[in-house]
Amino acid sequence: MNRTLQTSATLHCDLLVIGAGGAGMRCAVEVLEKRPSIRVIALTKVPHPQKSHTSTAQGGLAAVDPADPADKIIYHMFDTWKGSDCTADQNIVKKICEAAWEQIVWLENRGMHFSRNQDGKLSKRTFGGHTLNFGERSAFRAVFEADRTGKGIMDTAWGESVKRGVSFLNQSVATELLFSDSRCVGTMVFLQKEGKFVRILSRATVLATGGSGQVFKVTTNCRQNTGDGLAIALQAGLPVLDPEAVQFHPTGIVGPGILASETLRSVGGILRNRDLEPFMERYAPKMKELVPRDLVVRAIEMEIREGRGVMNPDHHIEHVWIDLRHLPQKVHEEQIPEVSGFFKKYVNLDPRRELCPVRPSNHYHMGGISTNISGQILDSSHHPVPGLYAAGECAAASFHGFNRLGTNSILELITMGKFVAESVLELLEETPQKQAEATVEKSFGLFSGYLEGRGRENLGQIRAALKALMTAKVGVFRTKTGISEAIDTLKELKERAQKVFLSSKSLAMNQELIQRWELDNLLSVSLVIARAALERKESRGAHFREDFPDRRDEYNHHTLASMPVFGDITLTRRAVDMSVFNARDENYENFNLIERKY
Amino acid sequence: MEKSFQITLKIQRYDPDTGKSWIQEYQLNAGRILRFVDLFRKINDEQDPSLAWSSSCEHGQCGSCAVRINGKPMLPCELLVENAVADFNTTLFEIKPLTIAPVVRDLIVDLEKAYEKINRARPYIIEAKPTAETSAEYRITPQELEKYVAATRCINCFCCAEACISSSKAFLGPNALLASIVRIMDPREQEKADRLALLYSDQGVRRCHTSRACSFVCPKEIDVAYFIALAKTGRFNPYP
């Protein structure tokens, strides 16, 4: 079948936001609050903005309340720096931590239903890695909306965007960025419902497409997080910063992969292997289950790798157990009710009487499209690309470095969303330049290729092979041999992908077609993760090389990976910003290259 | 405990290219804790990649996947095979799309259309009361929040709207009413008059027949009917 694809319409706007989650909507609303006449179009891949992955964030939102006599912004900055394993950029850490509380008030004033204390003020809770006085004791720094903080942000930001008149294109994907004289002037968009391509010309374009967790077999990420934003940025020749920095959470629930909170370990849950041995005693005789997240992740993976895991026959996922049976009834009822509810709902067991299956679950991508402190996307020479911005999980400024603290991600969404809006507003103040015709679209060739693909390869099988491969070889444990094998296999998978035959050639709401496109994105993102992981011959934050288990000073830099064509990768470096340390103000020594020990 | 079930899914298909609609039967061997979304994925991977279905978070936080299973609107991401077999007392399941919006393909409906009613209910603060101090948060006691916090848990999966027995096309539906009632009860909202006008209009609460089907099917276990009943008592009107 030979079908000529074409652009069915050209739409014009001032601001195009690609991805209508927390970061994208915060940005859109800020722009409209300042200048209501701006024409904003927002795309979302999901059926409706409210269905975005932001909605699933549970725990909280870190921010230092100026009314809190004990907490200080510098403590939050220190915790973020230390947590990042000294690879966050200190200028962005300072900027976000300083702006944090104002963003909380912004959300609250616009109707977010934060949990409250008896004075009617916002309740606060502690969270791993957040401390007072440079690590002295836990800080009550995270505001929250029960166990659905992300939903609160999403509902608020989406509600405001409806109020302010954002035009939404739901179930739409951006397939290609369009440039004219190296300025981003718009985007090719595929409207899934209609099965049509439209060209959207915009003065400013913001990528806020979220994470890439679907690269891995077990993930907390939603089904749509296939790294699309990273893939279209790579395709445009733009670099991704620190792609190798991928975070895993120790206790994902077998099945949906969602988090069984770390509270389970802090209230006394015991991890056991196939032989029911409490194995953490072997890895950390003193602290046992209470050691930091990454150590628990590695201990569980080691048990599974050495054959002491348990295979779940339904999901074909190997796991260990978390034993909560010995905990008093009161703890079950008062401290872990929602997690107990998850086990009941998704595994159909009673944690008071039965062992619960958990395993490390991919959680967050610290790496992302390289931006400056204002969210402008940088090209490989570190120059801002005019008209192009990124915010949220798809972007890296870098606030999280090589390891993200809990409650810092949704903080980053809303603050960076706002900062990007400020940059966009500046751009929109300028008189629009007369644009040359945008570059010719590649999307049609790509999609006709998918539709015309001939061969016997099966989309689902290739995707499953990719996820298993990345989990086994570029996941929690990484070695030179494993990563190299993964790189070779990824190239083979790419070739196999070209022989996928789509059973339906329809354009309208053809999930197979979109999944075929997603597979290419997953392959691209996987390959840059693997290549960068191979190059970094050290362990840092969430990146753990068994053959190089320590952090090494010669790698105190960010990775920049470019891949305009699949397989054609260039890796360069960028220095980590240490401006807080270099300013030599009070407490500056805490911002030196310190050990990440708790 | 290794156990599996022989499951039959009879799924309502629709092809927008031809306008054809039909029921297609799939046989699956399914492990006890697979969820219905896992079954759909299994069908895609092993039998029929063309079957279109919707999902996003796949753990009951987004409501994208709602369908009718043996007549009951529910989230297939939360329905385990062994629970379904026990609850419905069968291994045969008829799966159909929701009827609250036009079908796009197979099990996917046009949620954008369904959300038009939510937008009419204005899911935001229309006009905020001034705060006591500038750039500060409002004070809301936990007791005050408790009165309406359950309603804020709504994820707009439209299961309640699907189950609602009101036959009026004009009726906003339970979840849209809930979106407005939240803001009527929210002390930060100043604009109550417009909200009350809509609530007591011919699109509002008087279209409700008090079947309580909404509360019965809500995956988030919100007592939707309770909030609608509050509105019916007239206690929001006149509001200070």
Tens digits of residue pLDDT in A326-380: 999 998 988 888 788 899 999 999 999 999 999 999 999 999 999 999 999 999 9
Which of B61, B82, B108 is the last residue in one of the domains? Answer: B108
Across the interface, do A55 and B137 touch by the CB < 8 Å criterion? no
Per the listing, tokens 């004033």 go with: A109
Rounded to whole angstroms, how far apart are CA atoms A511 and B161? 26
**Which DSSP state fits B128?**
B
Q: Does B52 touch chain A (CB under 8 A)?
A: yes
The pLDDT, as a whole number, for residue A171 is 97
Rounded Cα gap, residues B201 and B195, in angstroms: 10
Res A434 pLDDT > 90: no
Residue of B nearest to A167 (CA): B112
- Asked if the C-beta of A456 comes within 8 angstroms of chain B's C-beta atoms, the answer is no
One domain for residues B36 and B82: yes
Q: How far apart are CA B133 and CA A411, in angstroms?
A: 24
Residue given tokens 């016997």 in the structure block: A456
Task: State whether residue A465 is helix, strand or coil.
Answer: helix
Residues 222-281 (A) with a CB less than 8 A from some CB of B: 222-224, 255-256, 258
Q: Kindly tell me the burial class for residue A550, based on how many C-beta atoms sit within 10 Å of its own C-beta (0-12, 13-18, 19 or more).
A: exposed
Which one of B57, B87, B133 makes the best mutation probe of the A interface by having the most chain A beta carbons within 10 Å? B57
Mean pLDDT of A549-558: 97
Contacts across the A-B interface (CB distance below 8 Å): 188
Q: Are residues B99 and B205 in the same domain?
A: no
Query: Which single residue is written with the structure tokens 């004791």?
Result: A137
Asked if A222 lies within 8 A of B57 by C-beta distance, the reply is: yes
With beta carbons under 8 A apart, name residues in chain A contacting B59: 56, 256, 258, 342, 346
Q: pLDDT (tens digit, 9 = 90+) per residue, A169-203? A: 999 999 999 999 899 999 999 999 999 999 999 99
Structural contact between residues A201 and A10, judged by C-beta atoms closer than 8 angstroms: yes
Categorize the per-residue pLDDT at A1 as very low, low, confident or very high, splitting at 50, 70 and 90: very low
Taking a contact as any Cβ pair under 8 Å apart, which residues of chain A between 308 and 327 contact chain B? 312-315
pLDDT of residue A336: 85
Q: How many domains does chain B have?
A: 2
Catalytic annotation, pick one of A265, A293, A463, A540: A293
> CB distance A460–B33 less than 8 Å?
no
Q: Residue A51: which of B38, B64, B153 has the nearest Cβ?
A: B64
ipTM of the complex model: 0.97
Rounded CA-CA distance A160/A28 in Å is 9
Query: Is there a single domain that holds both residue B27 and residue B121?
Result: no
Minimal-distance CA residue of chain A relative to B14:
A509
pLDDT digits (tens, 9 = 90+) for A87-140: 999 999 999 999 999 999 999 999 999 999 999 999 999 888 999 999 999 999
Residues of A in contact with B82 (CB under 8 A): 348
A459 touches chain B (CB under 8 A): yes
Residues of B in contact with A51 (CB under 8 A): 56-57, 62-64
- What residues of chain B lie within 8 A of the CB of A110, using their CB? 124-125, 128
- Smallest CA–CA distance, residue A70 to chain B, in Å, is 19
Smallest Cβ–Cβ distance between A51 and the set B62, B152, B183 belongs to B62
Q: What is the CATH number of the domain that holds B203?
A: 1.10.1060.10
> Which architecture does CATH list for A249-363?
Alpha-Beta Complex (3.90)
Residue A164 bears catalytic tag: no
Q: Return the SS3 of A90.
A: helix
DSSP A22-68: HHHHHHHHHHHHH-TT--EEEE-SSSSGGGSGGGG--S-EE---TT-
Q: Which residue has the higher pLDDT, A38 or A340?
A: A38
pTM beyond 0.80: the answer is yes
Task: Show which of B108, B142, B171 is a domain's final residue.
Answer: B108
Same domain, yes or no, for B159 and B85? no
Question: Residue A104's Cα: distance from chain center in Å?
Answer: 21
**For A258-289, what is each residue's pLDDT tens digit?**
888 888 888 899 999 999 999 999 999 988 98
Is B116 found in the same domain as B101?
no
Q: What is the pLDDT of residues A506-548, one digit of tens each?
A: 999 999 999 999 999 999 999 999 999 999 999 999 999 999 9
Residue at B239 is within a domain: no
| Nearest chain A Cα distance for residue B173, angstroms | 18
Domain range for B223 is 111-232
CA distance A119 to chain B (A): 6
Cα distances (angstroms) measured from residue A430 to each of A423, A433, A443, B26: 11, 8, 30, 59
Fold of A443-575: Methane Monooxygenase Hydroxylase; Chain G, domain 1 (1.20.58)
Name the least confident of A333-342, B100-109, B121-130.
A333-342
* Same domain assignment for residues B217 and B127: yes
Which of A515, A578, A594 lies closest to A45 in space, CA to CA? A515
CA A364/CA A349 separation, integer angstroms = 28
Of A525, A532, A594, A597, nearest to A88 by C-alpha is A594
**Could you tell me what percent of chain B has a pLDDT over 90?**
92
Question: Are the Cβ atoms of A113 and B45 closer than 8 angstroms?
Answer: no
Instruction: Kindly state the greatest CA–CA separation across chain B.
Output: 63
Find the Cα–Cα–Cα–Cα dihedral B179, B185, B191, B192, rounded to 10°: 90
Same domain as B219, residue B117: yes
**Domain shared by B201 and B176, yes or no:** yes
Beta bridge partner(s), residue A168:
A42
Amino acid at A137: R
Is residue B240 a part of any domain in this protein? no
The residue with tokens 């997240």 is A293
pLDDT on residue A436 = 63
| Closest in A56, A110, A314 to B34, CB measured | A314
Rounded Cα distance, A378 and A371, in Å: 5
**Residues in Cβ contact with B192 at an 8 Å cutoff, skipping those fewer than 6 apart:** B184, B236, B239
B121 plus B146 within the same structural domain: yes
Q: Is residue B37 part of a domain?
A: yes
Asked whether residue B62 falls in the same domain as residue B115, the answer is: no
First to last CA, chain B: 59
- Residues B216 and B225: their CA atoms lie apart, in Å, by 9
Query: In this predicted structure, what is the pLDDT of residue A286?
Result: 87
Contacts A502 to B, Cβ<8 Å: 49
Domain ends where: B89, B108, B127?
B108
**CB proximity B46 to A under 8 Å:** yes
CA distances, A156 to each of A107, A210, A350 (Å): 7, 18, 35
Best to test chain B binding among A107, A118, A167, A223 (most B CBs inside 10 Å): A223
Instruction: Check: CB of residue A406 under 8 Å from CB of residue A91.
Output: no
CA–CA separation, A560 and A564 (whole Å)? 13
Q: Where are the domains of chain A?
A: 249-363, 443-575
Bridging pattern class, strands B4-15 and B92-96 = parallel
Distances, alpha carbon A91 to alpha carbons A97, A378, A382, in Å: 10, 16, 16
Residue from A151, A226, A511 whose CB has the most chain B CBs within 10 Å, to mutate = A511
Handedness of CA B103, B106, B112, B115 (dihedral sign): positive
Decide if B16 and A508 are in contact by the 8 Å CB cutoff.
yes
CA neighbor of B137 nearest in space, from A111, A372, A139: A111
DSSP, res A260: -
Q: CA triplet A391, A396, A402: central angle to 5 degrees?
A: 140
The DSSP element (H or E) to which B94 belongs, if any, is strand B92-96
Residues of B whose CB is below 8 A from A512: 44, 49-50
Judging contacts by C-beta atoms under 8 Å, the chain B residues touching residue A122 are 137
Averaged pLDDT score across all residues of chain A: 95
Q: Which two tokens stand for residue A65?
A: 């309340």
Indicate if the pLDDT at residue A2 is higher than 50: no
Specify the amino acid at residue A160.
Answer: E
Please name the member of A162, A345, A464 whose beta carbon is closest to the beta carbon of B119. A162
Which chain A residues are Cβ-neighbours of B52 within 8 angstroms?
A: 509-511
Touching check for B155 and chain A: CB below 8 Å? yes
Q: Quick one: B84 and B177 in the same domain?
A: no
Compute the nearest-CA separation of A101 from chain B (Å). Answer: 10
Cis peptide before B238 (omega within 30 of 0): yes
CA nearest A367: which of A153, A538, A531, A511?
A531
Residues A201/A144, Cβ–Cβ less than 8 Å: no
CB interface of B with A, residues 5-34, below 8 Å: 15-17, 30-34
Contact between chains at B135 and A105 (C-beta distance less than 8 A) = yes
Residue B72 near chain A (CB below 8 Å): no
Count the Cβ atoms, other than its own, within 10 Å of residue A421: 27
Q: Is residue B238 part of a domain?
A: no
Is residue B237 one of the residues assigned to a domain?
no
First to last CA, chain A: 61
